[in-house]
Structure 1
Amino acid sequence: MGRTLTRRAAVSAVLAGVIALASATLSPAGAGTRAGATPPPATAATGPAASPAGTATTTGPTTGTATTTGTTPGDDATAPAPRPPRLPRDFRGRGKWIVRDLGITVPFTWEGRDGDSQMVAGGPQYPIWFTNLIHRGTLYTLTYKWPGLTEHPCSRIPGFDLDTLNRKLGTARFVGREILQGNPSRYVNHWRVGVVVPQLPPGKFLRFPLALGDIYVDQRDRGTFWQVLQFGIQNLYDPELDEWLVMDTFEHRPGRVTLPARCSSPG
């Protein structure tokens, strides 16, 4: 499975990820973006088709996003936690990017190939349009359109790759086994990952939560990501500092990753 203080910070996980989501995919403050093993064939699941191109939707009482309810039947609170989320090297999926406080939902794609990965939300016909990608060991973000945004540089963070992201995801805390109610409903493991500074021992110390990510992966396969909530400084463009990605499909086959020309030029 994430701007400097004037750009989108990476989630690891979350985010950004994408996180990262990351992050969804989460990353420390000062980052420049917005947030595995091959599963058995039965877990390379797909769901309903994503929102058709050219149709931005406004979030209301219902948005088409999944909601959580309780724990899965037979869940045992004393059972050991499953293994944490791990973004695979090759995948492709479609879904929605949701900014609830702005009332905006746009189409979203997330794809990976040979360890590189790319998120694209919206497009030229939508009020939001950005891309985050990990490409050859560098994390990039380029926001083409966002309400109130007048600057559009490509931010780069060298030294960030899939292993960096998965190491952060490996520190996630298990929340519980849940059901995302939708069409279809999905049985997921809910995880939380965050970045807090400064890193100090337990006790009465002043500390700041810079970024948080809630990650929902398939119970049968920790490499199948269905939903990510990003909250924190990496969502600085949004007044309420939170954004969602919700996947309708997620397949374990190579996707397409394309570095924008604006990011490939120096400066």
Structure 2
Amino acid sequence: MALRRTRRTLVSAVAGGLLALGVVAPGPAAPPPRAAQADGPTAPDRREPRPPLLPADFQGTGRYIVRDLGIDVPFSWQGRNGNSQMTAGGPDHPIWFTNLIYENTLYTLTYRWPNIPLFPPRACSKIPGFFNRQIFNDKLKTSRYVGPEILQGDQDRHVDHWRVGVVGGSTVPGEFFRFPLALGDIYVDQRDPSRWWQVLQFGLQNLFDPELDEWFTMQTFDHRPGEVTLPDRCPPPTS
């Protein structure tokens, strides 16, 4: 899950909200873990990979990274009974936003973004239309498999790399004008594609970012039910 006023509408639809999420003076962002092709004796046996899947219940923590702005802030992603919520940063961080899939509705709310006046804070955006975890997972089934990789960090993780995109315009390539709206590179555990370790999102949904790309990378991810809370300023799903 995807995806903060109009800029996050598309990534939430692609990455959960694909999609969504106490530094006083941020320093240079740590680069995301490097991805290397998995080979050698430690690589898992080849098998038919399964596409990414957003589970109904989960909780994870990590970092949200905007490298061209020097931003690296805490990130959490939680799910409960099919609802899910991404939160990056907080009141004491240069970035602070939340994206939700809540009761068949997609929301995005940005409290703070560098060099963007958000005072008073912008209203919560309720994205028009019906959207839920099942719709999100159906979109993930259209992902293209890039290959097996190893994310090299404090702990090397064997992952499957997938790419999913959203294109606007005609559905007939080459016949009418088409344009890319959003692109996501998703890295999930090779043995459990419902365990997410890293996402790069790129496209129109990142208009606040000069380079139009943002990362989140997970340090923990398990299948215990998390906490999902609709902010007070967000309209209820039925309104």
TM-score of the aligned structures, taking structure 1 as reference length: 0.79
| Residues 9, 234 of structure 1: 8 Å contact kept | yes
Deviation at 1:3, TM superposition (A): 5.8
Deviation at 1:204, TM superposition (A): 5.6
**Taking every aligned residue pair, what percent have the same amino acid on both sides?**
58
Identify if the C-alpha distance between structure 1 residues 185 and 4 changes in structure 2 by more than 3 Å, giving closer, same or farther. Answer: closer
Residue 134 in 1 paired to residue 104 in 2?
no
2:151 to 180, 187, 194: 180
| Residues 66, 213 of structure 2: 8 Å contact kept | yes
Amino acid at match of 1:122: G
- The match for 1:245 is 216
| Residues 100, 106 of structure 2: 8 Å contact kept | yes
Deviation at 1:169, TM superposition (A): 0.6
- The match for 1:11 is 11
| Residues 100, 243 of structure 1: 8 Å contact kept | yes
Amino acid at match of 1:194: G
Deviation at 1:64, TM superposition (A): 5.7
- Structure 1: any 5+ residue segments left out of the alignment? 23-33, 35-53
SS at match of 2:116: coil
- The match for 1:45 is none
Deviation at 1:83, TM superposition (A): 1.4
SS at match of 1:9: helix
Instruction: Give the paired residue count.
Output: 232
- The match for 2:67 is 100
| Residues 13, 213 of structure 1: 8 Å contact kept | no
Identify if the C-alpha distance between structure 1 residues 238 and 16 changes in structure 2 by more than 3 Å, giving closer, same or farther. Answer: farther
What whole-Å deviation, never above 9, does each CA across 1:184-222 have from its counterpart, x for those lacking one? 000000000000122433436432111000000000100
Residue 155 in 1 paired to residue 125 in 2?
yes
Deviation at 1:93, TM superposition (A): 0.4
- The match for 1:38 is none
SS at match of 1:14: helix
SS at match of 1:150: coil
Q: What is the alpha-carbon root mean square deviation over aligned residues?
A: 2.5
Identify if the C-alpha distance between structure 1 residues 97 and 264 changes in structure 2 by more than 3 Å, giving closer, same or farther. Answer: same
Deviation at 1:149, TM superposition (A): 2.3
Larger relative strand fraction:
2
Q: Quick one: distance in 1 between partners of 2:103 and 2:6?
A: 24
- The match for 1:82 is 49
| Residues 72, 179 of structure 1: 8 Å contact kept | no
Identify if the C-alpha distance between structure 1 residues 3 and 214 changes in structure 2 by more than 3 Å, giving closer, same or farther. Answer: closer
Identify if the C-alpha distance between structure 1 residues 66 and 136 changes in structure 2 by more than 3 Å, giving closer, same or farther. Answer: same
